[in-house]
Protein backbone atom coordinates (compact mmCIF):
# COMPACT_ATOMS: atom_id res chain seq x y z
CA UNK A 1 0.00 0.00 0.00
CA UNK A 2 1.60 3.20 -1.21
CA UNK A 3 2.02 6.21 1.06
CA UNK A 4 2.82 9.45 -0.76
CA UNK A 5 4.31 12.30 1.29
CA UNK A 6 3.23 15.65 -0.16
CA UNK A 7 4.55 18.07 2.50
CA UNK A 8 6.45 17.47 5.72
CA UNK A 9 8.13 19.77 8.25
CA UNK A 10 9.21 19.66 11.90
CA UNK A 11 9.46 22.32 14.59
CA UNK A 12 10.55 22.13 18.21
CA UNK A 13 8.93 22.91 21.54
CA UNK A 14 11.47 23.26 24.34
CA UNK A 15 11.69 24.58 27.88
CA UNK A 16 13.80 27.65 28.63
CA UNK A 17 15.74 28.24 31.86
CA UNK A 18 12.57 29.49 33.56
CA UNK A 19 10.70 26.31 32.58
CA UNK A 20 8.53 28.13 30.03
CA UNK A 21 7.71 26.47 26.71
CA UNK A 22 9.38 28.09 23.72
CA UNK A 23 9.08 27.43 20.00
CA UNK A 24 11.83 26.99 17.41
CA UNK A 25 10.61 26.77 13.81
CA UNK A 26 12.14 25.37 10.64
CA UNK A 27 11.78 27.64 7.61
CA UNK A 28 11.82 25.07 4.80
CA UNK A 29 9.99 21.80 4.35
CA UNK A 30 11.95 18.58 4.73
CA UNK A 31 13.12 16.91 1.55
CA UNK A 32 11.76 13.41 1.17
CA UNK A 33 14.25 10.55 1.14
CA UNK A 34 14.86 7.15 2.77
CA UNK A 35 15.01 8.51 6.34
CA UNK A 36 11.89 10.69 5.99
CA UNK A 37 10.01 7.91 4.20
CA UNK A 38 10.89 5.43 6.94
CA UNK A 39 9.85 7.90 9.64
CA UNK A 40 6.50 8.53 8.01
CA UNK A 41 5.88 4.84 7.28
CA UNK A 42 6.41 3.97 10.95
CA UNK A 43 4.30 6.90 12.16
CA UNK A 44 1.43 6.01 9.85
CA UNK A 45 1.47 2.36 10.96
CA UNK A 46 1.70 3.24 14.68
CA UNK A 47 -1.10 5.76 14.40
CA UNK A 48 -3.38 3.39 12.46
CA UNK A 49 -2.92 0.57 14.96
CA UNK A 50 -3.01 2.73 18.10
CA UNK A 51 -5.89 1.67 20.32
CA UNK A 52 -8.33 4.06 21.95
CA UNK A 53 -8.52 6.75 19.28
CA UNK A 54 -11.51 9.11 19.38
CA UNK A 55 -13.13 10.94 16.49
CA UNK A 56 -14.20 14.55 16.23
CA UNK A 57 -15.02 17.55 14.08
CA UNK A 58 -14.43 21.29 13.96
CA UNK A 59 -15.93 23.42 16.71
CA UNK A 60 -18.36 25.91 15.18
CA UNK A 61 -17.51 28.45 17.91
CA UNK A 62 -13.78 28.49 17.09
CA UNK A 63 -12.80 28.72 13.43
CA UNK A 64 -9.12 29.54 14.03
CA UNK A 65 -7.49 26.29 12.97
CA UNK A 66 -10.14 25.51 10.36
CA UNK A 67 -9.42 28.84 8.67
CA UNK A 68 -5.73 27.94 8.51
CA UNK A 69 -6.60 24.60 6.92
CA UNK A 70 -8.83 26.33 4.34
CA UNK A 71 -6.04 28.74 3.44
CA UNK A 72 -3.41 26.06 2.96
CA UNK A 73 -5.85 23.94 0.96
CA UNK A 74 -6.72 26.80 -1.42
CA UNK A 75 -2.97 27.58 -1.63
CA UNK A 76 -3.30 31.14 -0.33
CA UNK A 77 -0.88 30.01 2.39
CA UNK A 78 2.21 27.86 1.87
CA UNK A 79 2.47 24.66 3.87
CA UNK A 80 5.49 25.98 5.81
CA UNK A 81 3.68 29.24 6.65
CA UNK A 82 0.60 27.25 7.68
CA UNK A 83 2.66 25.17 10.13
CA UNK A 84 4.35 28.30 11.54
CA UNK A 85 0.99 29.88 12.34
CA UNK A 86 -0.40 26.61 13.66
CA UNK A 87 2.64 26.09 15.90
CA UNK A 88 2.28 29.63 17.28
CA UNK A 89 -1.38 28.85 17.97
CA UNK A 90 -0.36 25.73 19.91
CA UNK A 91 2.22 27.69 21.89
CA UNK A 92 -0.38 30.34 22.76
CA UNK A 93 -2.75 27.63 24.00
CA UNK A 94 -0.02 26.13 26.19
CA UNK A 95 0.77 29.55 27.64
CA UNK A 96 -2.92 30.27 28.23
CA UNK A 97 -3.24 27.10 30.27
CA UNK A 98 0.19 27.58 31.90
CA UNK A 99 1.29 24.15 30.68
CA UNK A 100 4.84 22.98 29.91
CA UNK A 101 5.39 20.72 26.90
CA UNK A 102 8.41 19.86 24.83
CA UNK A 103 9.22 17.66 21.88
CA UNK A 104 9.36 17.56 18.10
CA UNK A 105 6.23 19.03 16.51
CA UNK A 106 5.61 17.32 13.18
CA UNK A 107 3.22 18.38 10.42
CA UNK A 108 2.76 16.16 7.37
CA UNK A 109 0.28 16.12 4.52
CA UNK A 110 0.20 12.78 2.76
CA UNK A 111 -1.90 10.55 0.54
CA UNK A 112 -2.83 6.95 1.33
CA UNK A 113 -5.30 4.74 -0.50
CA UNK A 114 -6.63 7.69 -2.50
CA UNK A 115 -7.37 9.87 0.54
CA UNK A 116 -5.45 12.96 1.69
CA UNK A 117 -4.53 13.39 5.35
CA UNK A 118 -2.96 16.02 7.59
CA UNK A 119 -1.16 14.44 10.55
CA UNK A 120 0.05 16.54 13.48
CA UNK A 121 2.07 14.91 16.24
CA UNK A 122 4.14 15.99 19.21
CA UNK A 123 6.93 13.41 19.47
CA UNK A 124 9.23 12.75 22.40
CA UNK A 125 12.94 13.21 21.69
CA UNK A 126 14.87 10.74 23.86
CA UNK A 127 18.56 10.69 24.78
CA UNK A 128 20.50 7.44 24.55
CA UNK A 129 23.91 6.03 23.72
CA UNK A 130 25.10 4.08 20.70
CA UNK A 131 28.20 2.27 19.52
CA UNK A 132 29.72 3.83 16.37
CA UNK A 133 31.31 2.06 13.41
CA UNK A 134 34.67 2.68 15.09
CA UNK A 135 33.35 0.89 18.20
CA UNK A 136 33.22 4.07 20.21
CA UNK A 137 30.40 4.75 22.64
CA UNK A 138 28.66 7.97 21.64
CA UNK A 139 25.70 10.06 22.77
CA UNK A 140 22.62 9.85 20.53
CA UNK A 141 19.09 11.20 20.38
CA UNK A 142 16.12 9.44 18.82
CA UNK A 143 12.39 9.93 18.31
CA UNK A 144 10.42 7.60 20.58
CA UNK A 145 7.68 6.83 18.06
CA UNK A 146 6.30 3.85 19.94
CA UNK A 147 5.20 6.09 22.81
CA UNK A 148 3.47 8.67 20.64
CA UNK A 149 0.84 10.18 22.93
CA UNK A 150 -0.20 13.46 21.37
CA UNK A 151 -1.32 13.17 17.77
CA UNK A 152 -4.29 14.04 15.59
CA UNK A 153 -5.14 13.32 11.98
CA UNK A 154 -7.49 15.29 9.77
CA UNK A 155 -9.02 13.39 6.86
CA UNK A 156 -9.01 16.16 4.26
CA UNK A 157 -10.91 14.05 1.73
CA UNK A 158 -13.68 13.30 4.24
CA UNK A 159 -13.83 16.97 5.24
CA UNK A 160 -14.27 18.05 1.63
CA UNK A 161 -16.79 15.38 0.61
CA UNK A 162 -18.75 15.20 3.89
CA UNK A 163 -18.32 18.52 5.75
CA UNK A 164 -21.23 17.62 8.09
CA UNK A 165 -19.50 14.44 9.24
CA UNK A 166 -18.56 14.13 12.91
CA UNK A 167 -15.54 11.92 12.26
CA UNK A 168 -13.11 13.59 9.88
CA UNK A 169 -10.77 14.25 12.84
CA UNK A 170 -9.22 11.43 14.83
CA UNK A 171 -6.91 11.80 17.77
CA UNK A 172 -5.08 9.93 20.51
CA UNK A 173 -6.36 10.89 23.93
CA UNK A 174 -2.97 11.28 25.60
CA UNK A 175 -1.07 10.03 28.60
CA UNK A 176 -2.72 8.52 31.64
CA UNK A 177 -4.05 11.22 33.92
CA UNK A 178 -3.92 13.93 31.26
CA UNK A 179 -6.46 14.37 28.51
CA UNK A 180 -5.38 15.67 25.15
CA UNK A 181 -8.40 17.98 25.28
CA UNK A 182 -6.51 20.06 27.87
CA UNK A 183 -4.79 21.89 25.04
CA UNK A 184 -4.48 19.82 21.86
CA UNK A 185 -8.18 19.82 20.95
CA UNK A 186 -8.46 23.52 21.67
CA UNK A 187 -5.45 24.14 19.44
CA UNK A 188 -7.15 22.17 16.65
CA UNK A 189 -10.57 23.88 17.12
CA UNK A 190 -11.91 20.35 17.53
CA UNK A 191 -14.65 18.72 19.63
CA UNK A 192 -15.30 15.04 20.21
CA UNK A 193 -17.74 13.34 17.87
CA UNK A 194 -18.15 9.61 17.23
CA UNK A 195 -17.09 7.34 20.09
CA UNK A 196 -15.65 3.99 18.83
CA UNK A 197 -16.19 2.36 22.22
CA UNK A 198 -19.91 3.19 22.20
CA UNK A 199 -20.13 2.00 18.59
CA UNK A 200 -18.42 -1.29 19.51
CA UNK A 201 -20.74 -1.84 22.47
CA UNK A 202 -23.70 -1.16 20.19
CA UNK A 203 -22.32 -3.73 17.75
CA UNK A 204 -22.20 -6.39 20.49
CA UNK A 205 -25.83 -5.71 21.38
CA UNK A 206 -26.80 -5.86 17.70
CA UNK A 207 -25.00 -9.19 17.19
CA UNK A 208 -26.77 -10.68 20.24
CA UNK A 209 -30.20 -9.57 19.07
CA UNK A 210 -29.51 -10.56 15.46
CA UNK A 211 -28.71 -14.10 16.62
CA UNK A 212 -31.92 -14.13 18.66
CA UNK A 213 -33.96 -12.92 15.66
CA UNK A 214 -32.60 -15.82 13.59
CA UNK A 215 -33.55 -18.25 16.38
CA UNK A 216 -30.09 -19.78 16.37
CA UNK A 217 -29.12 -22.62 18.68
CA UNK A 218 -26.58 -21.90 21.42
CA UNK A 219 -23.85 -23.53 19.35
CA UNK A 220 -24.79 -21.47 16.28
CA UNK A 221 -24.80 -18.27 18.34
CA UNK A 222 -21.29 -18.99 19.60
CA UNK A 223 -20.12 -19.73 16.05
CA UNK A 224 -21.58 -16.43 14.78
CA UNK A 225 -19.99 -14.45 17.61
CA UNK A 226 -16.64 -16.16 17.04
CA UNK A 227 -16.89 -15.18 13.36
CA UNK A 228 -17.55 -11.53 14.28
CA UNK A 229 -14.65 -11.60 16.76
CA UNK A 230 -12.29 -13.07 14.13
CA UNK A 231 -13.26 -10.40 11.58
CA UNK A 232 -12.83 -7.57 14.10
CA UNK A 233 -9.43 -8.79 15.26
CA UNK A 234 -8.21 -9.09 11.67
CA UNK A 235 -9.28 -5.51 11.01
CA UNK A 236 -7.49 -4.36 14.17
CA UNK A 237 -4.33 -6.20 13.17
CA UNK A 238 -4.32 -4.48 9.77
CA UNK A 239 -5.14 -1.08 11.27
CA UNK A 240 -8.41 -1.05 9.32
CA UNK A 241 -11.93 -0.11 10.39
CA UNK A 242 -14.90 -2.41 10.70
CA UNK A 243 -17.23 -2.18 7.70
CA UNK A 244 -20.79 -3.29 8.39
CA UNK A 245 -21.40 -4.47 4.82
CA UNK A 246 -18.28 -6.64 4.91
CA UNK A 247 -19.23 -8.07 8.30
CA UNK A 248 -22.76 -8.73 7.04
CA UNK A 249 -21.35 -10.70 4.12
CA UNK A 250 -19.24 -12.75 6.55
CA UNK A 251 -22.32 -13.62 8.62
CA UNK A 252 -24.39 -14.56 5.58
CA UNK A 253 -28.15 -14.33 5.14
CA UNK A 254 -31.10 -16.38 6.27
CA UNK A 255 -34.64 -15.94 4.95
CA UNK A 256 -33.68 -12.64 3.28
CA UNK A 257 -32.53 -11.21 6.63
CA UNK A 258 -28.97 -9.90 6.58
CA UNK A 259 -27.05 -8.20 9.36
CA UNK A 260 -26.59 -4.89 7.53
CA UNK A 261 -30.34 -4.47 6.99
CA UNK A 262 -30.99 -5.52 10.59
CA UNK A 263 -28.71 -2.88 12.13
CA UNK A 264 -29.79 -0.19 9.66
CA UNK A 265 -33.37 -0.41 10.90
CA UNK A 266 -32.84 -0.50 14.66
CA UNK A 267 -29.33 0.64 15.58
CA UNK A 268 -27.39 3.89 15.29
CA UNK A 269 -24.17 2.40 13.98
CA UNK A 270 -21.83 4.04 11.49
CA UNK A 271 -21.18 2.14 8.25
CA UNK A 272 -17.48 2.19 9.18
CA UNK A 273 -15.84 2.62 12.56
CA UNK A 274 -12.69 1.46 14.37
CA UNK A 275 -13.28 -1.42 16.75
CA UNK A 276 -12.58 -0.89 20.43
CA UNK A 277 -10.34 -3.81 21.39
CA UNK A 278 -11.57 -4.00 24.98
CA UNK A 279 -15.17 -4.45 23.84
CA UNK A 280 -14.36 -7.59 21.83
CA UNK A 281 -14.20 -9.74 24.94
CA UNK A 282 -17.96 -9.45 25.20
CA UNK A 283 -18.37 -11.46 21.98
CA UNK A 284 -16.85 -14.68 23.28
CA UNK A 285 -16.47 -14.24 27.04
CA UNK A 286 -18.49 -13.43 30.13
CA UNK A 287 -16.55 -10.85 32.14
CA UNK A 288 -17.39 -9.17 35.43
CA UNK A 289 -15.74 -7.64 38.47
CA UNK A 290 -16.75 -6.12 41.78
CA UNK A 291 -16.21 -6.46 45.50
CA UNK A 292 -12.66 -7.68 45.03
CA UNK A 293 -13.72 -10.44 42.62
CA UNK A 294 -12.94 -10.63 38.89
CA UNK A 295 -14.31 -13.46 36.74
CA UNK A 296 -13.78 -14.14 33.04
CA UNK A 297 -14.62 -17.29 31.09
CA UNK A 298 -15.53 -18.43 27.60
CA UNK A 299 -19.27 -18.26 26.94
CA UNK A 300 -19.25 -21.85 25.63
CA UNK A 301 -18.40 -23.10 29.13
CA UNK A 302 -21.71 -21.90 30.60
CA UNK A 303 -23.94 -24.92 31.01
CA UNK A 304 -21.00 -27.30 30.78
CA UNK A 305 -18.16 -26.77 33.25
CA UNK A 306 -19.84 -23.68 34.69
CA UNK A 307 -23.37 -23.50 36.05
CA UNK A 308 -25.28 -20.43 37.19
CA UNK A 309 -28.22 -20.62 39.60
CA UNK A 310 -30.16 -17.35 39.36
CA UNK A 311 -32.31 -18.18 42.40
CA UNK A 312 -29.31 -18.32 44.75
CA UNK A 313 -27.03 -16.12 42.61
CA UNK A 314 -24.41 -18.86 42.69
CA UNK A 315 -21.78 -19.71 40.10
CA UNK A 316 -20.44 -23.28 40.22
CA UNK A 317 -17.16 -24.07 38.47
CA UNK A 318 -16.04 -27.64 37.80
CA UNK A 319 -12.38 -28.05 36.97
CA UNK A 320 -10.31 -25.22 38.46
CA UNK A 321 -7.44 -23.96 36.27
CA UNK A 322 -4.15 -25.59 37.45
CA UNK A 323 -2.35 -22.31 38.21
CA UNK A 324 -5.32 -21.10 40.29
CA UNK A 325 -5.55 -24.46 42.06
CA UNK A 326 -1.88 -24.22 43.02
CA UNK A 327 -2.43 -20.75 44.48
CA UNK A 328 -5.49 -21.90 46.42
CA UNK A 329 -3.68 -24.89 47.89
CA UNK A 330 -0.73 -22.70 48.79
CA UNK A 331 -3.03 -20.42 50.76
CA UNK A 332 -4.49 -23.20 52.91
- pLDDT at residue 252 greater than cutoff 90: no
Q: How far, in Å, are 3, 25, 87, 144 from residue 104 at the CA level?
A: 22, 10, 11, 10
Cβ distance 43 to 53 under 8 Å? no
Q: Which pLDDT belongs to residue 20?
A: 87
Q: How far, in Å, are 32, 79, 108, 121, 331 from residue 9 at the CA level?
A: 10, 9, 7, 11, 60
Q: For 57-104, what is each residue's pLDDT tens digit?
A: 999 888 899 999 999 999 999 999 999 999 999 999 988 888 888 889
Q: Give the Cα separation of 62 and 93 in Å (integer).
A: 13
Q: pTM of this prediction?
A: 0.71
Q: Which pLDDT belongs to residue 180?
A: 54
Q: What is the distance of C-alpha 280 from the center of its chain? A: 15
Q: For 167-194, what is each residue's pLDDT tens digit?
A: 899 988 655 445 555 688 889 998 888 7
Q: Which pLDDT belongs to residue 176?
A: 46
- If you average pLDDT over every residue of the chain, what do you get? 86
Residue 34's pLDDT band, with cuts at 50, 70 and 90, is very high
Cβ distance 39 to 46 under 8 Å? no
Q: Give the Cα separation of 172 and 188 in Å (integer).
A: 13
User: Could you write out the three-class secondary structure of 255-285?
Assistant: CCECHHHHHHHHCCCCCEECCCHHHHHHHHE
Dihedral pair phi/psi, residue 11, rounded to 5°:
-130, 180
User: Could you write out the three-class secondary structure of the chain?
Assistant: CCEEEEEEEEEEEEECCCCCEEEECCCCCCCCCHHHHHHHHHHHHHHHHCCCCEEEEECCCCCHHHHHHHHHHCCCCCHHHHHHHHHHHHHHHHHHCCCCCCEEEEEEEEEECCEEEEEEEEECEEEEEEECCCCCEEEEEEECHHHCCEEEEEEHHHHHHCCCCCCCEEECCCCCCCCHHHCHHHHCCEEECCCHHHHHHHHHHHHHHHHHHCCCCHHHHHHHHHHHHHHHHHHHHHCCCEEHHHHHHHHCCECCECHHHHHHHHCCCCCEECCCHHHHHHHHEEEEEECCEEEEEEHHHECCCEEEECCCCEEEECCCCHHHHHHHHHCC
- pLDDT at residue 265 greater than cutoff 70: yes
Q: Which pLDDT belongs to residue 4?
A: 94
β-partners of residue 293 are 290
- pLDDT at residue 161 greater than cutoff 50: yes
Q: What is the distance of C-alpha 272 from the center of its chain? A: 14
Q: Which pLDDT belongs to residue 251?
A: 85
- pLDDT at residue 166 greater than cutoff 50: yes
Identify which has the larger pLDDT, 28 or 52. 28
Q: Which pLDDT belongs to residue 173?
A: 67
Identify which has the larger pLDDT, 180 or 105. 105
Phi-psi sector, 103: left (phi>0), alpha (psi -120 to 50), beta: left
Q: Mean pLDDT throughout 145-157?
A: 87
Sorted by sequence, the CB contacts under 8 Å of residue 288 that are 6+ apart come out as: 294, 295, 296
Torsion sign (Cα): 200, 201, 204, 209: negative
Cβ distance 189 to 63 under 8 Å? yes
Amino acid sequence: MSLDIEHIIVHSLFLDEQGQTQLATREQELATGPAVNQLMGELHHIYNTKAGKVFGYFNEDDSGFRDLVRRVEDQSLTFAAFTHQAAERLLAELNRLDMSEQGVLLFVRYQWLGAHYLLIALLDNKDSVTVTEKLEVSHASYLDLGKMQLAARLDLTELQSRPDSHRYFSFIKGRAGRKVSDFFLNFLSCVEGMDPKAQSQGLLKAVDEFCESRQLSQEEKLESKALVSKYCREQLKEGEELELRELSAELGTDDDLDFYQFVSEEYQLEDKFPVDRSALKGLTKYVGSGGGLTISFDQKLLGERIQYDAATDTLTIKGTPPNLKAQLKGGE
